[in-house]
Amino acid sequence: MDSDTEMHRKESSSENPDPVKAKCPPVLVDDVYLNGPTLDVNGAEDFIRESMRIITEDAVKKATDVREKVCEWHSPEDLKELLDLQLTDEGESDTRILERCRDAIRYSVKTTHPRFFNQLYAGMEPYSMVASFIIEALKPSLYTYEVSPVFTLVEDAVLRKMREVIGWKEGGDGIFNAGGSLSNMYAVNLARYHHCPDVKELGLSAVPRLVLFTSQECHYSISKAAAFLGIGTKNVYVVPSDNRGKMIPTALEELIQTAKSEGAVPFMVNATAGTTVLGAFDPIEEIADICEKHNLWLHVDACWGGAALMSAKHKHLLKGVHRANSVAWNPHKMLMACLQCCAFLVRDKTGLLQRCYSARASYLFQQDKFYDVSYDTGDKSVQCSRKPDAFKFWLMWKALGSKELEQRVDRAFAMAKYLAQEVKKREGFRLLMEPEYANVCFWYIPPSLRDLPDSTELWEKIHKVAPVVKERMMKKGSMMVGYQPHGDKANFFRMIIISPQVSRQDMDFVLDEIDRLGRDL
Amino acid sequence: MDSDTEMHRKESSSENPDPVKAKCPPVLVDDVYLNGPTLDVNGAEDFIRESMRIITEDAVKKATDVREKVCEWHSPEDLKELLDLQLTDEGESDTRILERCRDAIRYSVKTTHPRFFNQLYAGMEPYSMVASFIIEALKPSLYTYEVSPVFTLVEDAVLRKMREVIGWKEGGDGIFNAGGSLSNMYAVNLARYHHCPDVKELGLSAVPRLVLFTSQECHYSISKAAAFLGIGTKNVYVVPSDNRGKMIPTALEELIQTAKSEGAVPFMVNATAGTTVLGAFDPIEEIADICEKHNLWLHVDACWGGAALMSAKHKHLLKGVHRANSVAWNPHKMLMACLQCCAFLVRDKTGLLQRCYSARASYLFQQDKFYDVSYDTGDKSVQCSRKPDAFKFWLMWKALGSKELEQRVDRAFAMAKYLAQEVKKREGFRLLMEPEYANVCFWYIPPSLRDLPDSTELWEKIHKVAPVVKERMMKKGSMMVGYQPHGDKANFFRMIIISPQVSRQDMDFVLDEIDRLGRDL
């Protein structure tokens, strides 16, 4: 950065307008001189260009380089010192701000690194990232066609294609929104409205106790939805799952009967396609039969597992999904669109979504506009301003085509299978179960524990292994793998495999590294 | 783009791994050859660099150039043809994708253009945009410190500073989230939980009818919140506003009595600081007195008006805001952080937010982690993955300092005042009311209607003027100004003034242009 550029940006301050440059004399209003603009975006060009160089080098190339660390760990206390977070009266120079950009990148976890396996998203998708940059630069909001013509049509096209993939051939509805949790909340509210439209106006205090059903393995957003939407977490009836993590349909049927016998009113079932921890798929066909019989809304939370629909080989895992009333599906997970990219899809073709969510704000949704206002999607949304996340998926889909997306999904499945095979081969590793999807769950048992008899004490010791190994991998920065307890199971590692940046050698590395980090325990 | 680069990216396909290059032989699993990565991000470097050049030229420089159009209007039908939105099996070349990027930018509305006055956000803030790019490249999610160390601390620092600006000197709580509507929903749910913690588990069907109070001028998200949260829109008691758009405190007091006499249970009041259409500020002090008297949660929706708190001259508009229990404030509006940047701030220091929202997911919020897990903010959120929007505000605040932010706010007020003065001076323009904030509302009356007597017929004619002028400005692309009817008032223009890119000459232009576009009507 040369200092001229910085000067250029500060030059046209509101306090000292240059009367020679300005075409007309400044006007003083409330002690403020008003004339030309006081911010010239062109003057920021050098700053923007330099920051883009830093982003490309540090946040893209270096962050995704397998030879670099996944993270440079510092405790919160230390990191606060390193970052100097305080906000003050005076601003800082562009040079200093560029250093801050470098630091923010340096100390951040590299979730796009090939050895980041910690969450249900990972890796870098260049096309989607570029789409994100375009969105950030253009600052669109998706309430009206008038303000977001391109992105309105893009969202419509992506939703249309996703519905086709689900198997809803003749239309339907949907909306992208800020996260899978929110998609699930949309579903609960829509199911409730469908069951009892009066709730929108009268509220739940005017109706009998409504209950919904989900499996014990479902995502915690279902419980959050029940709390947030006023249904109450106790009115989420938890259906037992089998030892693979799949909802047991007969148990669902029984629980529906129980609820009815209590005088409660069942209104929806949430089936999970790809559970968070085990990657299990609930049996949608059988659940759909039960929903039809009892006239219940079927929502499929396919936030994680929806990607399998792209694969001819694996889409059977979601067999029956076309019978769902609604589906949540996050392309930001296995399909690697940039965060966040979350679709809520609806089978209904009668405008239910709009009726359920509309508030008809007259300053946005004027009915006397000069174009077809059915393109204004904002009144279907629980948000007001809303980001055009579909574009991040659309651009990469255009670039890769469905075939490449399918290959990536197939490869993630194969990579998970490979890792499971390796786990089984190795001493000191024990697989929780054969993976059905891209979650591979396993224990690491250090040499000191390998010959102990299977007992509560042994499992208490194994329980303490994963947190220590995790601490060590974080401090070393070599990789990131999640761990958790689950039901009565002691802490185990959960590997999530997504990105085509990942190699088979990385799978071997993960097992080697866990052993290296934990063998003294 | 040279085609070599593209080749480089396709070369390492999973179907034909090159056994010479690979260090170990590929393994075949489920018909997929597994070996090295099939996506090399470095191979995308040229594509990324070229797209960044396009973004800088088209989405930053050209989009903010006052000599360029604000939009290039096409009807939905025409634009669909121009864009070719369909998603197919085969992908497209990088060259074609770059064309698509150019087209997406070209046909999008330039909300960062100096003559975009259509919404409560506008303009380009280079520092915030760069922060956005960093976020998009790094793909962070803000549930745990472990995954987002930098952004967790940044959010904490920004919330801390915003609470200080509000006047909460000794701590408090808060969270950034996906929109002001969601912030208002957080508030309603938190107030409800505070009033009756049992609702979280038992739901609203177990408690008496809860009601909340807001003014007729409030944002429509309050009504959406009541519907979504199961309270019911009829349980939003609408308090009349005076002719300036401010809530009438005595009317609030009466309505609370009415609700109580009906056996309903009041639990919160929403006061609006900066209403959407008129830019009015409810009298917070008087409303706070009433809330204290009746033991009601006071939420201040300062999504739009919160920026006034940065100004010593104008912060009196929110006098008493420190007495609120919660505040919603969107730095993405007048403070120009990139979309979305929305803070929900809470005065409580006892962990109420966490208790209200927590679901304790064991796969994210393990309690046996090696660092202080009180830094994991995810269990305060209604979302699961959540974007670190605070960073977009933090970086620009660091660069500009509070003083520059204050000057920008003062200038927007002055510019609005200037525009109002001009409206009053000009024939054929009529001001709705003196602006209190940066909303300037006015009618344009074409020459043919100027001599007609004031009558219902006249106003019916005036009502039809704004939509036509709007259509013409869109098709010409010269500027974007919103219009709407409001209560019994015929369609009027609402100018929103925010950005330091705007000049006094732009204000003159807007009035000249409306006259040019509408004088034949």
ipTM: 0.95
Average pLDDT over chain B, rounded to an integer: 94
| Residue pLDDT, tens place only, B143-198 | 999 999 999 999 999 999 999 999 998 889 999 999 999 999 999 999 999 999 99
More confident residue, B476 or A171: B476
Per residue in B292-305, is it b (16+ CB within 10 Å) or e — as a string?
eebebbbbbbbbbb
Picking from A139, A369, A400, the nearest residue to B467 by CB comes out as A369
Angle between helical axes of B390-425 and B126-138 (0-180°, round to 10)? 150
What does the pLDDT read at residue A12? 42
Asked if B366 reaches chain A (Cβ–Cβ under 8 Å), the answer is: yes
CA nearest A411 in B: which residue? B32
Using CB atoms, pick whichever of A200, A207, A369 lies closest to residue B227: A200
Tally: H helices and E strands in chain A:
16, 14
Share of chain B above pLDDT 70, in %: 96
Q: Chain A, 278-307: which have a CB under 8 Å from a chain B CB? A: none
Q: What are the Cα distances from residue B376, in Å, to A72, B121, B352, B354?
A: 18, 31, 15, 11
Contacting A residues, span 399-458, partner chain B, CB-CB under 8 Å = 399-404, 407-408, 410-411, 413-415, 417-418, 421
Q: How many angstroms separate the CA atoms of A182 and A171, rounded?
A: 23
Tell me the shortest Cα–Cα distance from A288 to chain B, in angstroms: 26
d(CA A404, CA A397): 9
Q: Which residues of A313-333 are buried (b: 16+ CB within 10 A; e: fewer)?
A: ebbebbebbbbbbbbbbbbbb
Q: How far does B123 lie from chain A, in Å, by closest CA? A: 9
Question: Across the strands, what pairs with A247?
Answer: A241
Q: Which residues of A touch B97 (CB under 8 A)?
A: 127, 395, 398-399
Cα separation, A134 vs A141, in Å, equals 13
Instruction: Give the separation between CA B57 and CA B53, rounded to whole angstroms.
Output: 6
* A138, A313, A402, best to mutate vs chain B, most B CBs in 10 Å: A138
Q: How far is CA A287 from CA A264, A297, A316, A345, B192, in A?
A: 20, 11, 15, 19, 34
- Decide if A428 contacts A450 (C-beta within 8 A): yes
Average pLDDT over residues B279-292: 98
**A138 with B110: Cβ contact below 8 A:** yes
Contact criterion met (CB below 8 Å) for A213 and A380: no
Please state the pTM of the whole predicted model.
0.95
CB of A333 closer than 8 Å to CB of A304: yes
User: Minimal Cα distance from B356: which residue of A?
Assistant: A227
Contact B371 A75 (CB under 8 A): yes
Would the pLDDT of A367 be above 60? yes
Residue A63 near residue B137 (C-beta atoms within 8 A): yes
At residue B514, does pLDDT exceed 70? Answer: yes
Give the pLDDT of residue B24: 78
Select from B140, B199, B339 the Cβ nearest to the Cβ of A141: B339
Chain B contact set for A112 (CB, 8 A): 41, 137-139
User: Which residues of chain B neighbour A110 with C-beta distances below 8 Å?
Assistant: 138
Candidate from A27, A90, A235 with C-beta closest to B504: A27
- Of the residues B24, B41, B71, B419, the best mutation for testing chain A's interface (the one with the most A CB atoms within 10 Å of its CB) is B41
Cβ–Cβ gap A146/B37 under 8 Å: no
**B123, B131, B148 ranked by CB distance to A109: nearest:** B148
Q: Does B16 touch chain A (CB under 8 A)?
A: no
Residue ranges of A 197-226 with Cβ closer than 8 A to chain B? 199-210, 219-221, 223-224, 226
Kindly state whether A465 is in contact with chain B, defined as any CB-CB distance less than 8 angstroms.
Answer: no
Cα separation, A295 vs B88, in Å, equals 36
**pLDDT at residue B346 tops 90:** yes
At A375-428, the pLDDT tens digits run 998 899 999 999 999 999 999 999 999 999 999 999 999 999 999 999 999 999
pLDDT range class, residue B7, cuts 50, 70, 90: very low
> Residue B19: pLDDT above 90?
no
Query: Is A386 exposed, middle or buried, given 0-12, 13-18 or 19+ CB atoms closer than 10 A?
Result: buried
Q: Is the pLDDT of residue B14 over 60?
A: no
pLDDT per residue over B128-153, tens digit each?
999 999 999 999 999 999 999 999 99
Q: Would you call B51 an interface residue with chain A, using a CB distance cutoff of 8 Å?
A: yes
A182 touches chain B (CB under 8 A): yes
CA distances from A325 to A180, A271, A295, A352 (A): 16, 11, 11, 11
Q: Is the peptide bond before B354 cis (omega within 30 degrees of 0)?
A: no
A233, pLDDT greater than 70? yes
What pLDDT sits at residue A78? 97
Beta carbons of A87 and B397 less than 8 Å apart: yes
Give the confidence band of A23 by pLDDT, cuts at 50, 70, 90.
Answer: low
Buried b or exposed e, range A205-219, using 16+ CB within 10 angstroms: bbbebbbbbbbebbb
- Burial of A40 per CB tally in 10 Å (0-12, 13-18, 19+): middle
> Quick check: B388 pLDDT over 50?
yes
pLDDT band at A364 (very low <50, low <70, confident <90, very high): confident
Q: Which of B31, B85, B226 sits opposite A157 (nearest CB)?
A: B85
- Hey, is the C-beta of B99 within 8 angstroms of any chain A C-beta? no
Query: CB A482 to CB B234 under 8 A?
Result: no
Distance set, CA A521 to CA A260, A482, A489 (Å):
52, 19, 19
> Residue A87: which of B127, B161, B180 has the nearest Cβ?
B161
Helix %, strand %, coil % of chain B (to 5): 45, 15, 40
Q: Say whether A137 and B63 touch across the interface (CB within 8 A).
A: yes
Q: Is the peptide bond before B367 cis (omega within 30 degrees of 0)?
A: no
Residue B388, classed as helix, strand or coil, is coil
Q: Token pair 């015929």 is at which residue?
A: B490
Q: CA–CA separation, A114 vs A129, rounded Å?
A: 16
Instruction: Decide: A393 and A158 in contact? Cβ < 8 Å.
Output: yes
Q: pLDDT of B212-255, one tens digit each?
A: 999 999 999 999 999 999 999 999 999 999 999 999 999 999 99
Q: Which residues of B touch A90 (CB under 8 A)?
A: 401, 403
**Angle between the N-to-C axes of helices B45-54 and A126-138, in degrees from 0 to 180, rounded to the nearest 10:** 10
What's chain B's length in residues? 521
Among B147, B394, B399, beta carbon nearest to A91: B399
* pLDDT digits 0-9 by tens, A125-164: 999 999 999 999 999 999 999 999 999 999 999 999 999 9
Contacts of B91 in chain A (CB under 8 A): 398-401, 403-404
Kindly state the DSSP code that residue A42 receives in the 8-state scheme.
G
Neighbours of B150 (CB within 10 A): 25
A397, β-bridge pairs? none
| Minimum CA–CA partner of A313 in chain B | B30
At residue B23, the pLDDT reads 63
Question: What pairing do the DSSP bridges indicate for beta strands A297-301 and A326-329?
Answer: parallel
- By CB atoms closer than 10 A (0-12, 13-18, 19+), residue B441 is buried
Q: Find, among B380, B175, B368, B146, the residue nearest to A119 by Cα.
A: B146
Q: What length is written for chain A?
A: 521
Radius of gyration of chain A (CA): 26
